Amino acid sequence: MIQLTNVSKIYPNGARALVDVNLKIGKGSFVFLVGPSGAGKSTLIKLLYREETPTRGQVQINSKNLVRMKDREVPYLRRNIGVIFQDFKLLPNKTVFENVAFALEVIGVAKSEVRNRTLATLELVGLKAKETAYPHELSGGEQQRVCVARAIINNPALLVADEPTGNLDPDTAWDIMELLYDINKRGTTIVMATHARAIVNKMQKRVIAIENGRVARDEEKGGYGYDA
Ligand code: ADP
């Protein structure tokens, strides 16, 4: 589903974020990206939803070449890719319902369908009772659930997550991981960058370690592999 071929990324300031990365990630997989800060994990994630393009090499998702993709095609790509961040990025003046519904409204989904799908997705993430709350009225875990709902409402083939549990306490982090686990079980491919050692060790999924912009390790059912 995802293929990176000889991918290098050098930022305009000269930072070498990725160096000759080759990767294949199959449909339906759950992959952790681990490695020290500054290793290139976020950059790799950004290439997947075309927030960045590589300096060299190819990025393909479902046989679509993201490097050659025209800017006007990017919104269509993003409909099929959900993105979750560490710092939630919810709209502060919109309710839970509005934050999630917005993802459908911008692509022109009919109003009645927006309502049904938004409520169904809020139910899935366990937040139906909070539909009229504003982000500042929610706990961190609840805010991240809203982000998960927003990311999956279009039923994307791919969900990418950059440190999604980074701002959460351990118990809440596990709640979010259970949600991501269930979403993966339903068929969505998940690529998640994380420093959450306990989560990576427990989940026994594929682990790709990035160090100095290169793939340093790639193991099925891997462990975190770094000291705390
Ligand atoms: P990680 O997610 O593993 O912490 P990043 O992908 O954020 O790593 O960063 C990899 C390298 O690229 C670092 O040296 C970082 O400073 C640099 N970098 C990341 N984003 C940018 C940017 N927008 N402009 C310049 N350099 C960047």
13 pocket-lining for ligand 1 (C-beta < 6 Å): yes
Which residue has a Cα nearest atom 20 of ligand 1?
43
Categorise residue 83: left if φ over 0, alpha if ψ from -120 to 50, beta otherwise: beta
What ligand 1 atom has the least distance to the C-alpha of 18? 10
What ligand 1 atom has the least distance to the C-alpha of 13? 25
Handedness of CA 25, 187, 41, 175 (dihedral sign): negative
What ligand 1 atom has the least distance to the C-alpha of 44? 6
Task: Give the C-alpha separation, 101 to 137, whole Å.
Answer: 18
Residue 40 CA to ligand 1 centre (angstroms): 6
86 pocket-lining for ligand 1 (C-beta < 6 Å): no
Each residue's pLDDT tens digit, 48-79: 999 999 999 999 999 899 999 999 999 999 99
What's the topology of domain 28-51+74-219?
Answer: Rossmann fold (3.40.50)
85 pocket-lining for ligand 1 (C-beta < 6 Å): no
Does 228 have pLDDT greater than 90?
A: no
Residue 68 CA to ligand 1 centre (angstroms): 23
| CA-closest candidate to residue 85, choices 167, 163, 142 | 163
Which of 42, 53, 212, 226 to probe ligand 1 with, by most ligand atoms within 8 A of CB? Answer: 42
Which of 41, 43, 49, 226 to probe ligand 1 with, by most ligand atoms within 8 A of CB? Answer: 43
Q: Which residue has the tokens 């998940």?
A: 190
Provide mean pLDDT across the span 115-133. 96
Q: How many CB atoms lie within 10 A of CB 44?
A: 29
Task: Give the C-alpha separation, 173 to 164, whole Å.
Answer: 8
Each residue's pLDDT tens digit, 179-216: 999 999 999 999 999 999 999 999 999 999 999 999 99
Each residue's pLDDT tens digit, 138-188: 999 999 999 999 999 999 999 999 999 999 999 999 999 999 999 999 999
Which residue has a Cα nearest atom 7 of ligand 1?
42
Residue 50 CA to ligand 1 centre (angstroms): 15
Does 2 have pLDDT greater than 70?
A: yes
Listed by start position, the domains of the chain span: 28-51+74-219
Which of 4, 9, 11, 212 to probe ligand 1 with, by most ligand atoms within 8 A of CB? Answer: 11
